[in-house]
Each structure stands twice: as C-alpha cells, then as structure tokens.
Amino acid sequence: MKSNTEKFGKAPHQPSLWTRADALKVHADDPTTTQPLVSADFPVLSNEVFIWDTMPLRDLDGNITSVDGWSVIFTLTADRHPNDPEYIDENGNYDITRDWNDRHGRAKMYYWFSRTGKDWKLGGRVMAEGVSPTAREWAGTPILLNEQGDVDLYYTAVTPGATIVKVRGRVVTTEHGVSMVGFEKVKPLFEADGKMYQTEAQNPFWGFRDPWPFRDPNDGKLYMLFEGNVAGERGSHKVGKAEIGDVPPGYEDVGNSRFQTACVGIAVARDEDGDDWEMLPPLLTAVGVNDQTERPHFVFQDGKYYLFTISHTFTYADGVTGPDGVYGFVADSLFGPYVPLNGSGLVLGNPSSQPFQTYSHCVMPNGLVTSFIDSVPTDESGTQIRIGGTEAPTVEIRIKGQQTFVVAEYDYGYIPPMLDVTLK
C-alpha cells in the first residue's frame, strides 16, 4: 500500500491555524453564541451513574439514526458512590464533587435507548469487564453499518497510553427495548506518532483521542477526525507571526503560550472497512491559543465542511480566553483552509455566570446541539454548586455561511433521529 505522500507526491494540505488574533474576538455572553442558563433544578438521568460525553448512534454520513423506531445513545459513564466510605467527608456527607472529578479514571461505555428521543432508559455496558484493554474507555463514535444492525464502536483506550481502537458488535431490538451484543474483540487502530501528533513521551499532558469516522460527501472515502496535540517536545513549539495573526499594538507578547498546542487530527482509511488507517497532518492547529480541541466532528451543509470541536477556559493560552463550549470552523473543501465561525470560532459557550454548566457539545446535522450538565451554581455567589452528570437541555443553532445563531432550546437530552433503519 502506497503511503499518502507517495500517492500525492507531497503532504496533501497545510493545517489551518486558529490564531491568537481570532481568539481575541471571542466574547463570552454574546446571546447568539451563549447557551441559555441551565436551571439548578434539572432532573438526572440516573441516581446510580454519572454520564458525560454523549455519542448518538449514527451512520457514516453523520445522520443520527434510530433502529426499528428506537433511538440509541452511548455515554461515558461511571458509578456514583453515595454510600462508599471513600467518598464520605469528615461531616458524614457524600462528597459528590470529588466523586464526579474522579470519574475519568473509571469511565466506561454504556448505552441507552428511547422511543421518543429523550427519557432515556439504561441499556447497560457495551463491553463486558475485561474486554477493553485499558482502564479507561474514553469517547468515540458508534456507527450503524447496515440493515443487519452491525455497529462499529470507535473509541479511545486510555491508561496505559492512548490508542484509537474499534470494536464491532450488533444492535438488537425487541418491542421492549434494545440490546448491544458482541463487542468482544477490540482492535487497536493507531496511536500518536511523535512526528505529526505529540506522544506521551514528548508531553505527559498530551491528548490523543475522540475518533469521529465519516465518509467524505465529495470523494466518498472513509476518514476519521480525532483530537491531538502538535508533535514536539513540550515547550519546544514556536508561537510566531502566523500563530499570532494580525493583532493590535500591545498584543504581541505571547507569554508562555508555547505550551498550548491543540490540533484536530485526521486519518484516512486504506480499506473499505476502516481496519487500516493512515494519519495525515492535522486539519487545524491552535498552537499558542489553546491546548485542547476535543471531540472534533463535522456537519456537512450547503456544500461546506463545518468543523466543530469542544474546548475549555482552562486550556486557553496566556493572553487569550473564552468560555467552555463548542467552537467551529468552516471550509469549502475537506482539507481547508478553515476559517473560524463568527470570526472568533465560538459557537456555543457557557454564560459567565455559570461557567461550568455544560460541556462536551455535539452539533448534529439538524442543528441540534447536545451536551451534558457539569455543575450549576445554587447560590448567588456561585460557591454552592449542584453536580450534574446528566443530559443538558438540547439547544438549536442555525448555521448560515460563516455565522451561527442560537435559536431554540428543547428538553433535557433531546436527540431525535434523522432517519430510521428497519433491521432485517
């Protein structure tokens, strides 16, 4: 098999840059790019488990798909420990905040089903204990492959290392519910290479995760987006003119922003089934701007590529900032160039009065945006909080050219199907 460089004769594209100048245009609390306030009296999906990253079942073209009338979502999930002595504080109270903060270390993939696209019922764990090769089952994408109900779950196997993997199983429905069968053999696909994508050896705080496979609507080939950091030893990156962009006088100082090196990675499949992948240079880099561009995903609309990715306030570099939320970029072709939506990139951020109310937004092709509730203040000062670990209200955005607008809000965890597949 020829490598990509052999086939194209040169690297196929230059990464697009999210610059510091772009990020200076980020403004929290612009009502057109701010998620409505989440009330502290939200319902929780389950008192037994926390859920966070939500992954609706979809096809390779991005359509959210129900099967035999059942909607299905996968979630990163961890047990809640209200009675575990380890999470009882010195006053005898359940320390839910610590339990919630520890969840990443025990994240497992669960699935849920629903007839209504909300009011989700817990199906259970996707893989039995011992199937996944590492401690943490981190985010990815479940893909419905055909009318037989075959499902490829792409996800990230983390600790030790971080490997993009996939596991094949099948969705089975009855009139009472949905079950996931199979999911017994996990196939490692690839890891960071240290040449394009930063490795753990180069930076212990590296990110390499969150696979999002898709079929390119134009060339019909199978690709995958993922989160990465730009390769190189931690601290060795240069924040030069290109990364800074066109800034006003007084904004040239980049401080320690060389430590923030997020990128959106892309790989192309060498085979039809997506078992053999080749990493390509990143689509987008944020060196000197932000250290995390998580869960990257596309909406294909009006012949354009809308690239969305989630990011945090705490991962911004010195001298730039923005809310936790989803950011977006648009291009006329897959390999760019990408320009930030709304000038800045910000598409849907948390209001500054409730900076952690939601996270892990996923923009669906129908303009609906799902996310989870992290924590919501319960008093004026914001010192008392209520932990979520459950689905947030769904928000609708309208995407028009290079702009986006918040236009509506729906019920908690409302993820309606865009098409239904009758299983054979």
Residues near ligand FRU (CB under 6 A): 52-53, 76, 104, 107, 138-139, 156, 209-210, 227, 294-295, 359-360
Q: How far apart are the first and last CA of the chain?
A: 35
Question: At its nearest, how many Å lie between ligand FRU and the CB of residue 140?
Answer: 8
| DSSP bridge pairs for 327 | 309, 346
Comparing CA positions, the residue from 130, 300, 127, 131 lying closest to residue 212 is 300
Question: At its nearest, how many Å lie between ligand FRU and the CB of residue 156?
Answer: 6
Q: Strand locations in 35-135, DSSP E?
A: 49-56, 65-67, 71-79, 108-114, 121-125
Active-site residue identified among 210, 294, 374, 391: 294
Question: At its nearest, how many Å lie between ligand FRU and the CB of residue 246?
Answer: 31
Question: At its nearest, how many Å lie between ligand FRU and the CB of residue 97?
Answer: 16
Q: Which is nearer to ligand FRU, 135 or 242 (CB)?
A: 135
Dist CA 341 CA 349 (whole Å): 13
Q: Which is nearer to ligand FRU, 389 or 417 (CB)?
A: 389
Residues 289-316: b if buried by 16+ CB within 10 A, e if exposed: bbbbbbbbbbbbeeebbbbbbbbbbebb
Residue 129 designated active-site: no
Active-site residue identified among 53, 210, 227, 374: 53
Q: Which is nearer to ligand FRU, 70 or 100 (CB)?
A: 100
Assign residue 316 a region (left: φ > 0; alpha: ψ between -120 and 50; beta: otherwise): beta
User: Do the Cβ atoms of 185 and 228 come closer than 8 Å?
Assistant: no
Q: Which is nearer to ligand FRU, 70 or 356 (CB)?
A: 356
Dist CA 18 CA 260 (whole Å): 12
Question: At its nearest, how many Å lie between ligand FRU and the CB of residue 158?
Answer: 8
Question: At its nearest, how many Å lie between ligand FRU and the CB of residue 53?
Answer: 5
My answer on whether omega of the bond before 337 falls inside 30° of 0, hence cis, is: yes
| DSSP bridge pairs for 168 | 152
Q: Which is nearer to ligand FRU, 107 or 364 (CB)?
A: 107
Q: Which is nearer to ligand FRU, 165 or 254 (CB)?
A: 165
Residue 99 designated active-site: no
Dist CA 336 CA 225 (whole Å): 14
Q: Which is nearer to ligand FRU, 149 or 413 (CB)?
A: 413
DSSP 8-class letter at 22: H
User: What one-letter code names the amino acid at 189?
Assistant: L
Question: At its nearest, how many Å lie between ligand FRU and the CB of residue 105?
Answer: 9
| Residue in this structure with the two tokens 């772009």, named with its chain if needed | 22
User: Do the Cβ atoms of 132 and 157 come closer than 8 Å?
Assistant: yes
Sign for the CA dihedral angle at 400, 406, 407, 411 comes to: positive
Dist CA 145 CA 151 (whole Å): 6
DSSP string of 144-170, one letter each residue:
E-STT-EEEEEEEEESSSEEEEEEEEE
Residues designated catalytic: 53, 294
